[in-house]
Structure 1
Amino acid sequence: MQLDLFSDSRDVMLRNDLIDALRSRDVGAGGRALAALAAEYPTDATLRPAQNLLGVLKAEVTPFATHAEAIQAVAAFEHAPRADAISLFGEGPAGHWLRPVRLALAQAATHLPYSAQAPDAHATGLYLRAGDWTAAEHHVNTIPAWRRIPVPLAWAAEACFHLHGLDKAWPLLAELAWLDAARFAALTQALPAPALARLLHRYAREHAATAADFAWFPAWALVAHPELRTVLQGARTPQHCAPELACHLVAELLILERQGRHHDIVEQRKRLRALNPELFAFYMQTRA
């Protein structure tokens, strides 16, 4: 039996035409390509996700009247279309394709104040999804007392990392660890920072039995890398929890050691041991 190569590749050609039109965001060409593929291959698996993405391109995003409306729009324009875009373009290209959609959602939410009951409705998180770090940093600063609230603090740390680097983001990350250790662990493990990833992996392997243990990570990291002292010196929270106090104790010990103040060193070491014997043991190992 001899194959008709043109006939056997017809579906591939029509499918590629449709995907190319969607990739270039050409609504007219996409509609024609969708109709052509559906006419000849009505059961093709490309049709459903392509039709959904074509609907996204045709839709107009207007300013949201309420937080609930914003949440609903994010679900409609972001969550399901992301799976469709991945199925047609692949993981990386899907994110690039969705960026204009995410920017439109963020712009439609810029007038909504931050709501602890609906944080996903705030423009900052939407700008972060779009990779617009500058806009995210600007909008998080409009949230009153954002540095005392874990969600916007995490947003600020992420934007700061991408805009200014890890050293600038360290104080915000440390404060996040003290306020919400689980959120800190999730964020830092997702950041493209190889040196930080290695530290986190080592800490998780040796010391972190639960997500809550990551609250002690800044103090541990300071023991492991004393050069972080100047980077972390501005990190402060109103709660003054034990992990934060331990970090400041380690920073003070580093100064006392350089000054050779033996009596004060002994007293501060006692305080560190009382706060966290395991951290104290790690500190003493580095001084052996």
Structure 2
Amino acid sequence: MGQLLTQILGKPLAALEQCNVTAGREALLRLTSEYPIDALAPTLAMLVEVLERPIPEPVTSHAVLRDTFEAWSSQIVPAARRAFGDAGGTAWCLPLWRTLAQAASDLPFRRDMPEWHTAPLWIRAAEWLAARESIARIESWRRIPTTLAWMAETVYRLQGLESAWPLLAELAWLSPKRLGALMQGLGDSSLLALRRVFDANFDGDGTLDDLAWFPAWALTERPGLAAFLRAAEFSTRTLPEQGMRIMLEMLSLEREGRQHELLERRKALRDLHAGLFGAYIRTR
């Protein structure tokens, strides 16, 4: 922003950064009086205006929510980042997303417009408990890839990766593409490291759909994940899901020393997916 401008604006600008509307208006008036053509003036004007009237009209429809969200994303978020930097601008917008989430709390979930719901707004606001409650009220949220991904992220933020593993597995079976995007979004170093090993070594089709096998394969690399993945609910019973169930059975049989039954399950795994069976055998 520049040292001179910072000195001119001083405390009023700092107050605007703290979402103080009165001080924000003061900062804007002081800037425009002393530097009427300064490039920052339109930015501050936009931020002051959205603080004074964050919701231009009641959020009574999904279309209103969509229009408000898109306007903020394309105008307010960039303005906040120009004024306060990337990290500061993102933090500055958190109360706005919280306000919009509260205003949209009565809108029902629509499968044809899943993104226009209060849950992703709570997520943007980093209000994880509110997000979890909002998602839990959606009927059959565990069978919808979008809502399942929301819940997986929310549980991760609240409780960590171990608690999120069952939901990540179910998401892999429903939508490998969404799982891939969520992994990148979470930014968990251990999860991303495991993903890199999977991409390099798993003998699959070489497409993003291979991620459906990721939970089953992960058990070959980290058998200790069985304690968490056993909590995954039965989903669509696809081949990748069957693969994980067989892997869980084999790990139990190995621990119990039941060799005859173990050999039968190994054959079932080989018949199900040669690449997964190969990954398992290489660790034995």
Q: Normalising to structure 1: TM-score of the pair?
A: 0.90
Verify: 1:272 aligned to 2:266, yes or no. Answer: no
Partner of 1:91: 86
Q: 1:29 and 1:217, CA in 2 relative to 1: closer, same or farther beyond 3 A? A: same
Q: 1:145 and 1:12, CA in 2 relative to 1: closer, same or farther beyond 3 A? A: closer
How far is the alpha carbon of 1:286 from its aligned partner? Answer: 0.1
Kept in 1: contact 2:13–2:23 (CA 8 A): no
Q: Superposition pairs for residues 1-288 of structure 1, below 5 Å?
A: 11-14=5-8, 19-61=13-55, 63-207=58-202, 209-287=206-284
How far is the alpha carbon of 1:18 from its aligned partner? Answer: 5.9
Aligned length: 280
How far is the alpha carbon of 1:24 from its aligned partner? Answer: 2.4
How far is the alpha carbon of 1:96 from its aligned partner? Answer: 1.6
2 CA distance for matches of 1:273 and 1:214? Answer: 18
Partner of 1:3: none
Q: Alpha-carbon deviations, 1:264-285, whole Å to 9, x = none?
A: 2222222212222111111100
SS at match of 2:283: helix
Q: Alpha-carbon deviations, 1:71-97, whole Å to 9, x = none?
A: 111122344211111111122222221
Q: Which runs of 5+ in 2 are unaligned?
A: none
Amino acid in structure 1 at the alignment position of 2:63: A
Query: Between the two proteins, what is the percent identity of the paired residues?
Result: 38
The CA RMSD over aligned residues, in Å, is 2.1
SS at match of 1:90: helix
1 CA distance for matches of 2:4 and 2:153? Answer: 46
Kept in 2: contact 1:53–1:85 (CA 8 A): yes
2 CA distance for matches of 1:198 and 1:130? Answer: 28
Q: Normalising to structure 2: TM-score of the pair?
A: 0.91
How far is the alpha carbon of 1:192 from its aligned partner? Answer: 4.5
Q: Which runs of 5+ in 1 are unaligned?
A: 1-7
